[in-house]
Amino acid sequence: MLVTFIRSIVLYIIILIVMRLMGKREIGQLQPFELVIAIMIADLASIPMTEVGIPIQNGIIPILGLLVMHLIISVINMKSIRTREIICGKPTMLVYRGKINEKALRRERFTINELEERLRGNNINSLGDVEYAILETSGGLSVIPKPSKRNTIPEDFGIEPEYEGIPYDLVIDGVIMTENLKIIGRDENWLKKEVSKFGINPKQALVVTLDGKGQIFCQKKSKFEK
């Protein structure tokens, strides 16, 4: 029992490292070759995890081999457009200039109901509102609404919004984010002074953020609430 437990932990750590090295993608955004590798890794890990008689390296070595294969294919995809099209495929235009491409639907084995379901997932309730719908190689659907159905933006009214930048986390669960302080050109003394305006110190804060306009948001940990 203890051996199985230890083997499971070792394999979990190996798989976690491998998946991190494969890059940041959601499961629904995996390319076909990435999904195949992920499935194979799961199968390879399950055998030595439960079968104590099988050497654990019999699972680790093939998993590392798949990682190498993934890295090689990823490099080839970046270097060659033709190879990328063969391995990953090409996006398919399901709706073009407001008209459904029936041939593309049949080729991708996509029904009208599936198309409508995907459109609803993109906050489009009517096929008549779609200018273009593109089935990406990852299986996701990118939708471009008709101009009259798109959300308005400040530029439509000749308005130039002020630059907002991005917010920075300065404290998370009482821990000071020193790297972010360096990025904004501040130090811990400045942070303590700003947080003290809320009647607490950084260790008592659940979160402290600084937005692009210089506004600070601060919330105290619940255990420090009166």
Query: Tokens 């190879």 — which residue?
Result: 83
Supply the pTM of this predicted model. Answer: 0.63
Q: At 1, is the pLDDT very low, low, confident or very high (cuts 50, 70, 90)?
A: low
Residue 104 lies in a domain: yes
Domain closes at, from 59, 86, 113? 86
Residues 96 and 119 in one domain: yes
121-160 burial, b at 16+ Cβ within 10 Å, e below that, comes to eeebeeeebbbebbbebbeebebebeeeeeeeeeeeeeee
Given this model, what pLDDT does residue 27 score?
55
Given this model, what pLDDT does residue 208 score?
95
The per-residue pLDDT for range 107-144, each reduced to its tens digit, is 988 889 999 999 999 999 888 999 999 998 878 899 99
The per-residue pLDDT for range 146-163, each reduced to its tens digit, is 988 888 888 878 888 777
Tokens for 105, please give them: 């639907």
Residue 31 lies in a domain: yes
Query: Tokens 């590392």 — which residue?
Result: 64
Residues 193 and 220 in one domain: yes
Residues 13 and 68 in one domain: yes
Given this model, what pLDDT does residue 25 score?
59
Residues 216 and 192 in one domain: yes
